[in-house]
Every structure is written in C-alpha cells, then in structure tokens.
Amino acid sequence: MVTALDLSAGMLAQAQRNDAAQHYLLGDIEALPLPDACVDLAWSNLAVQWCDDLRAAIGELYRVARPGGRVAFSTLLADSLPELNQAWQAIDDRPHANRFLSEAAVRAALRGLRATGEVHQISLPFADALSAMRSLKGIGATHLHQGRTAAPLGRGKLRELQLAWPQRQGICPLTYSLFTGVIERD
C-alpha cells in the first residue's frame, strides 16, 4: 500500500488525480503524522532540500520506517543550476534560486546511519532561457525562502538572460547535481 504525503493540498490533489497512491495525507516531512515503524519504505523525491534541518527530516523518515526497512531520498546539491546562476550574475548580484546543501553537508547528515549515496549530474536541453526557467517552477527551485524581492521579468531582462545564459550549439542547458541516498533501517 502506498501513502502519498505532501505539505501542499494542491499537490496532494494532483497526486490523487493521477491515482498515485492508495492513501493521501497532508503533512510536513519534518513532523510526519505517522506512527513509529509503520512503513517498509519511506521515500522522498526532491523534498528534503526545502527542510530547515536535513538531519531532522531524514530522522523523521527513519522513524517511520520499520526495522529492516529502508529510507530512500533524492535532493539537489549546491552545484545545481550553474547556468541559471551564471546568467543572473551577469545581470544583477541578487540571488534568484535557492542555495542547496553541499555533498559534504548531506553526507554529514547521514553519519551514524547505514547509508549509501551517489551523485548524478543531469543536464537538460532547452530551446531558450525562458523554457529552462519555466521548467524550474515545477520543482520550486526558484522560490527563495528569504531575501527575494519579487519583480516581474520584463522583455528586456529576459533578453539579457538569454544572452548571458551559457549555450552549447544554440541549446540552453540546465544542469542538476542530484544526490540519491538509501538508508537501511536497524
């Protein structure tokens, strides 16, 4: 049986429309509304990078996994989105995407656990900078927790971004550094 959990009621509704699970639960990964040792596999895909305390979030996933079960997760690392960051740095000095943890910080959060982890570099091709940035909305990578002043992206700024975006043979790549981890529950 699969239980889908999300902090967003809208995301849960979308999961339900896609028939992604048997149960749907509104909740916070940092305080899971589940009893101890109740699942065989606790899995988080691109969610823990939004948590204030990675070790605590992983601890919650570990808490709900049964002994002999597993925790699996993926998260973005600090060297993700270099093209986006390079393009914006050419225009202004403000951050336009969240800062993610380093690989060392993620591995430090796993200390003391029976864990394995791998890093994957994934580069996606886009026709232009706007298409690349639109793809980010789906994962929330452009939502800043703090320090952002919202301003609409006008044609002039978009043109500047397109020119500043590092391109390969007319393609605007967007690169993710993805950490995937698996923890064996004792």
What is the per-residue burial (b if ≥16 Cβ within 10 Å, else e) of 111-133? eebebebeeeeeeeebebbeebb
98: amino acid identity, one letter: N
For residue 178, the model assigns a pLDDT of 98
Average pLDDT, rounded, for the chain: 92
Tell me how far CA of residue 52 lies from CA of 30, 42, 55, 69, 79, in angstroms: 9, 19, 9, 25, 19
Arithmetic mean of pLDDT, 19-23: 96
CA separation for the pair 175, 124 (Å, rounded): 6
Q: Residue 165 pLDDT > 90, yes or no?
A: yes
Tell me how far CA of residue 42 lies from CA of 1, 126, 145, 154, in angstroms: 12, 33, 26, 42
Pairing of strands 172-184, 65-76: antiparallel
80-128 pLDDT per residue, tens: 999 999 999 999 888 777 889 999 999 999 999 999 999 999 999 999 9
Domains of the chain: 34-184 (3.40.50.150)
Q: Which residues contact 28 (CB under 8 A, 6 or more apart)?
A: 7
Arithmetic mean of pLDDT, 4-29: 96
pTM of the model: 0.88
Confidence of residue 140 (pLDDT cuts 50, 70, 90): low
Q: Residue 162 pLDDT > 70, yes or no?
A: yes
